[in-house]
Structure 1
Amino acid sequence: MGFDIGIDLGTTNSLCAVFRDGQPELIPNVHGSVLTPSVVGVLDDGSMLVGLPAKELRVTHPAQCAWCFKRWMGTNRKIRLGGRDYSAPELSSLILKSLKDDAEAFLKEAVTEAVITVPAYFNDHQRKATKLAAELAGLKVRRIINEPTAAALTYGFHEREAVKKLMVIDLGGGTFDVTLMEIFEGGLEIISTAGESHLGGEDFTNRLVATVLKQLGKEYETAELKTPLLVARLHEECERAKRQLLDAPQSRIRIPNDDGEINEKAVSVLVTREAFAKASKALVDRLKGPIGKVLRDGQVDPTEIDDLILVGGATRMPVVVDFVREFLSAEPLAKFNPDEVVALGAAVQAALISDNAAVSDMVMTDVCPFTLGVELAKEFGNYLEPGYFAPIIHRNTTIPVSKEQIFSTVATNQLEVTINVYQGEARKVKDNLKLGELSVKGIPPGPAGQPFLVRFTYDINGLLEVEACIPETGRKFQTVLTNHAADLTPKEIAAALEKMRKLKFYPRDDVKNKQLVLFCDRVVGEISPHLRESLEGAIDAFERAMSSGDREMFEVARSGLLIVLSSLGIEYESPEAEADQDDNELS
């Protein structure tokens, strides 16, 4: 049988796991460790080093090594090694190829497919770069999932009977994610997620390096340029001290010379937990924003959270544990190794995709981590200004989902419009990420304000279907944006679109709903003027709900309208009720 592996492609360390014999299992590398340092090096003869050997080379020859390149994913940044420029996907592919080789040696079978995790707040470019890295390593990506989601899958797999709200706080080597979720009867529902893609354990180490250098009268950037060997060795010393402070109240940092050597006469600097906490305060304060956003988006009070789960090696730091405990007034948990829990969850996800019998009772729902919408022009006085963002699917909306909105033309006799699709949270599209566009033609001539409908349908594969419809003619336009979809084949895309079709909800086309609106339009002119406002408000809410494509919103608005009618002493009988009555009379 073939195996799909789960991979945690980390900033500092990477690791992989496989689901077999009913359990997720970590895969050791050639050195016997499950952690492979995310470091790449080039020797003088041009040969490449990956993982632990490259990490050792970094101490003595930092100019010949690259690390923390996960942070460059989705950018054009390159680093020169051995006379050649490497991009972040190329460097990451070397890590993935190493993991793939280790998995094949461990499983004694070819490995060609994988589930790969990324920070929840990775944007479209960063996710595409991750997929490119996998392709370069000879891996097909079955799915890219968010790291906190993978961590929660590990907990959900082992606690299937639990009913609880969890908050996963994931602070890795270079990224920070927070996800709020709920476990119930084998189901895992993501409620909200947020994060920061440039905050992690490496920043805490670098802050300690900068603090020590400042005591020596040096600036970090200047020292890195003038004495790179000193900084490289000092970084190793600070990383060691940071780990010692996990269990000890203080640690000593030895100061290397300009050549990066530490001799017997080397001076040392004492660092205490308190001093490290003070130096790290600005970094710890940055944790507050994403945590607050997750609570607000999920409309959850901290007291409603049953378990606080710590993920990522950096969450071991007392300064982080103390902050989480104080900020959320709860005791954080780490039932599973924070370094390993994401890879294990990726293996569980691979089992879910493969319909493994051991996870047949598990169901997972995820959320869209970014807002998806279109560009529109806003009217200010007598002029129109383009470039504004109109959300259609808001961040942290449970997926799969289908939403619709009404837009209109901005010029007289405007016959066509280009719908520009964006991802992001900014008010203006220039600060968001463009995903694609759709041309709509054949709009009937007329004054500005001719309506057209735009529908977004988004699924768990990351497939975004964009549709537009001209109500007057019924003509429809459609495009499928596969930016987020993990290497789906045309057949897989077709199957996904068929599933998405079932999500779509068109209450405005239902005769029953048209009948209700017509009935209300007639009643408005018949009731007392001082009662008209409440009825018109309910009708407007109902019509907005019909255009939203949101089934729950529609049902609430319809019930609200019927309640208002009833409160006015007006009874409405739907067409079905009248038909049933006619049938009874005939019988």
Structure 2
Amino acid sequence: MIVGIDLGTTNSLCAVFQDGQPVIIPSSHGRSLTPSIVGVLDSGELLVGDAARDLRVTRPQHVASRFKRLMGTQETVSLHSKQLNAAELSSLVLKSLKQDAEAYLGEDVTDAVITVPAYFNELQRRATKLAGELAGLRVNRIINEPTAAALAYGFHDRDAEKNLLVIDLGGGTFDVTMMEVFEGTLEIIASAGESTLGGEDFTDRLLGHVLQTMQMHLESAEIRLPLMVSRLRDECERAKRQLGNVEQIDIRIPEDDGHFAESPRTVSITTALFSEIVQPLLERVRRPIARVLRDAGLSPDQVEDVILVGGATRMPVLKTCVREIFDQEPLCTHNPDEVVALGAAIQAALLSNDEAVQDIVMTDVCPFTLGVEITKHIGGHDVEGFFLPIIHRNTTLPVSAEEIVSTVRANQREVVIRVYQGEHRKIEGNLSLGELRVTGIPPAPAGVPIRIRFTYDLNGLLEVEALVDSTGRKFSTVLTNHAQHLSKKEIEDAVSKLQDLKFYPRDEVENQQLLRFSERVLGEISPQERQAFEEIIDSFEIAMASGDPSYFQQVRAFLLERLSELGFPHDSGEGSAE
């Protein structure tokens, strides 16, 4: 049995596709939400979920929460006498969900689709997959949370044709995804976000303000008075939730031991004050939204529907922020806490070829840019460590693309192609994914060209190829990253399918002939026409390396048309410029 799991910062959920519909699986406590909290008793017994949440108030040092933010790092959490990393802690939550699902379904649960924030990098996705494996699950697919939410909406509205924006603000992460919906197809256009922004931060801002009125600082108070801060955080969380329904609320101040006096001190918070307190967070919300609109090439008035996902989107201040940007009321027709898990279950049904979802087609994008390290000649010196993008962020998957690099020294016999993921100009700010060694380059002056091709699919398989034109030798490697759940045979099959993606018209003889013919024509036309025609030739070379069949055909047709206008029609043969 395969299930869909929303592994959240604050709460996690599990869903299954049954009788043509996605269904939330209740926990052993009868709730849809399982708190993503792990605790340990003095006896060493581990607690997960609701029991651990209750322990957090009375014995915060025995409890770990919000560890999703540590995914992909080497940091560990001290849990009583244990040291556990984020993947290990997450595996305990996943194991609890697995046990609840098996009790509900009456059969073994062996496979899962697990959601992650769209802006999770490869290390974070890999850690999520590891957590699933530690919980005894075979992770069939890692899917982006906004994509899962859109799947749930698209499943119930398959005939829609619109531009749809998903704003996903959970307990600890924030994602924005733009997509186009048409004829049962969900095409992701652009994604952005922050993996360290969520509802918990709004609670912490409110907590910090209350402590400030008491002449205390949050970090020092947590160390000196952990029980008081733990109880006060619960009070602030309650106040944050209620401020949507009331104009003012009194937050009770606990004593140093975490208990409330018979007549406790209070701090009054109005909705206007809360909005002022969290303005820096709302600015952080606005930035990824603006980035997605830029990447998608759309203005706010071109977005038909704005969908809110994640429990933190219930906050009125968030809804007001969204209304100000898009001048429309955001939609929340499905439970924002559950919609991602429901979408994960639909993705599981797609992987299982369930008849109920055969008419749904989904595309996704590469959330980060993929590229290689290069050397630049600056100020008379060769400077290493620069990043050359090959597949840009928000490129629709699957995709194949190419760039040309060259040797930097005379008689250079070897090149190490180092692959990175990220948006920084230099590799030191990006994430290393692996490398490919190119050897046997013949002795020659600096500048021997090497063509690098990236081919990337929805499973997370990245094939890296290097072609040395002067020798015809090809070098390649496959970086599986978060697709490591695939068997060797499945990887071989997936790599075979990648070959079908490759569209490299530069390799075709007729296109090389057309390029040479055009270059000869360039030497025969008038100087007034030369610059404009050379720009067309440049565009043709760029199109040959783009890997985009539609774009290439458009540019090729334009080049042929311009040749005819200049009086040099080109046929399918070598042609001449006489």
- Sort the TM-score into its range (normalised by shorter chain): over 0.9
Query: Does the residue aligned with 1:332 lie in a helix, a strand or coil?
Result: coil
What is the aligned partner in structure 2 of residue 154 from structure 1? 152
Query: Does the residue aligned with 2:486 lie in a helix, a strand or coil?
Result: coil
Contact 1:534/1:564 (CA < 8 Å) preserved in 2? no
After the TM superposition, which residues 42-121 of structure 1 pair with which residues of structure 2 at under 5 Å, given as runs? Answer: 42-121=40-119
C-alpha deviation, 1:576, in angstroms: 11
C-alpha deviation, 1:520, in angstroms: 1.5
C-alpha deviation, 1:559, in angstroms: 1.9
What is the aligned partner in structure 2 of residue 371 from structure 1? 369
What is the aligned partner in structure 1 of residue 492 from structure 2? 494
Cα pair distance change 1:486/1:117, threshold 3 Å? farther
Deviations 1:255-314 (CA, angstroms, capped at 9, x unpaired): 100000013221222211111111111111111110011001111111111100000000
**Alpha-carbon distance in 1 for matches of 2:167, 2:102:** 32
Contact 1:461/1:486 (CA < 8 Å) preserved in 2? no
What is the TM-score with the length of structure 2 in the denominator? Answer: 0.98
What is the aligned partner in structure 1 of residue 255 from structure 2? 257
Does residue 469 (structure 1) correspond to residue 467 (structure 2)? The answer is yes
What is the aligned partner in structure 2 of residue 267 from structure 1? 265
AA of the residue aligned to 1:293: R
**Alpha-carbon distance in 2 for matches of 1:535, 1:242:** 63
C-alpha deviation, 1:484, in angstroms: 2.6
What is the aligned partner in structure 2 of residue 585 from structure 1? none
Deviations 1:368-423 (CA, angstroms, capped at 9, x unpaired): 00000000000113211010000000000000000011111000011110000000
AA of the residue aligned to 2:138: K
What is the aligned partner in structure 2 of residue 16 from structure 1? 14
After the TM superposition, which residues 27-426 of structure 1 pair with which residues of structure 2 at under 5 Å, given as runs? Answer: 27-426=25-424
Deviations 1:439-488 (CA, angstroms, capped at 9, x unpaired): 00111211100101000000000100000001111100000001131511
Contact 1:142/1:486 (CA < 8 Å) preserved in 2? no
**Alpha-carbon distance in 2 for matches of 1:249, 1:153:** 36
1:571 corresponds, among 569, 572, 575, to: 569
AA of the residue aligned to 2:216: K
Contact 1:143/1:486 (CA < 8 Å) preserved in 2? no
C-alpha deviation, 1:564, in angstroms: 2.0
What is the aligned partner in structure 2 of residue 540 from structure 1? 538
**Alpha-carbon distance in 1 for matches of 2:549, 2:427:** 28
Contact 2:129/2:482 (CA < 8 Å) preserved in 1? no
Structure 2: gaps of 5 or more residues: none
Query: Does the residue aligned with 2:438 lie in a helix, a strand or coil?
Result: strand
Query: Does the residue aligned with 2:483 lie in a helix, a strand or coil?
Result: coil
What is the aligned partner in structure 1 of residue 458 from structure 2? 460
C-alpha deviation, 1:78, in angstroms: 1.0
**Alpha-carbon distance in 2 for matches of 1:270, 1:535:** 71
**Alpha-carbon distance in 1 for matches of 2:148, 2:368:** 18
Deviations 1:50-103 (CA, angstroms, capped at 9, x unpaired): 000100010010010000000011111111223111111111011000000000
Contact 1:170/1:177 (CA < 8 Å) preserved in 2? yes
**Alpha-carbon distance in 2 for matches of 1:195, 1:456:** 25
How many percent identity over aligned positions?
Answer: 61
C-alpha deviation, 1:115, in angstroms: 0.2
**Alpha-carbon distance in 2 for matches of 1:552, 1:290:** 30
Structure 1: gaps of 5 or more residues: 579-587
C-alpha deviation, 1:569, in angstroms: 3.2
Deviations 1:15-69 (CA, angstroms, capped at 9, x unpaired): 0100010000000000000000011111111111100010001001001000000
C-alpha deviation, 1:566, in angstroms: 2.7
Contact 1:152/1:168 (CA < 8 Å) preserved in 2? yes
**Alpha-carbon distance in 1 for matches of 2:191, 2:255:** 45
AA of the residue aligned to 1:443: I
**Alpha-carbon distance in 2 for matches of 1:296, 1:245:** 33
* Structure 1 residue runs of 4 or more that deviate by more than 3 Å after TM superposition: 575-578
Query: Does the residue aligned with 2:193 lie in a helix, a strand or coil?
Result: strand
C-alpha deviation, 1:541, in angstroms: 1.6
Contact 2:160/2:181 (CA < 8 Å) preserved in 1? yes
**Alpha-carbon distance in 2 for matches of 1:298, 1:94:** 38
Contact 2:517/2:574 (CA < 8 Å) preserved in 1? no
**Alpha-carbon distance in 2 for matches of 1:199, 1:94:** 23
What is the aligned partner in structure 2 of residue 583 from structure 1? none
Aligned CA RMSD, in angstroms, stands at: 1.3
